[in-house]
């Protein structure tokens, strides 16, 4: 197995791991249990990995991190939106 194939498999698995979280936040309309610090740092880190992939010309790094960056942005948007909706909720 060459290094690009290995990268594509690894990227697919790590990227796919975010899909259930995005789905859960969307279906429950809640992201209260997610730390803003974690979400922000992860999103920034993924963006920097995307830039790194572009710089070194690695399609596996670019693809995986572009998709993961979009998923993490979706989490940021939903956290912002849904956290605002539950302000004042005594839960």
Domain assignment present for residue 40? The answer is: yes
How far apart are the C-alpha atoms of 36 and 42, rounded to whole Å?
10
The count of domains in the chain is 1
Domain assignment present for residue 56? The answer is: yes
The CA-atom distances, in angstroms, between 9 and each of 47, 70, 79, 90 are 19, 19, 29, 43
Domain assignment present for residue 76? The answer is: yes
pLDDT, one tens digit per residue, over 16-74 is 998 999 999 999 999 999 999 999 999 999 999 999 999 999 988 999 999 999 999 99
The domain of 64 spans 33-83
Domain assignment present for residue 50? The answer is: yes
Domain assignment present for residue 48? The answer is: yes
Domain assignment present for residue 19? The answer is: no
Domain assignment present for residue 61? The answer is: yes
Please give the model's pTM, rounded to 2 decimal places.
0.82
């Amino acid at each position: 197995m060459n290094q690009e194939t290995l990268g594509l498999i690894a990227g697919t698995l790590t990227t796919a791991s975010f899909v259930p979280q995005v789905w859960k936040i969307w279906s429950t309309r809640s992201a209260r249990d997610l730390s803003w610090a974690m979400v922000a740092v992860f999103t920034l880190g993924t963006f920097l990995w995307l830039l790194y992939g572009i710089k070194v010309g690695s399609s596996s790094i670019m693809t995986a991190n572009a998709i993961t960056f979009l998923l993490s942005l979706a989490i940021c948007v939903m956290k912002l939106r849904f956290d605002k909706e539950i302000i004042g909720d005594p839960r």
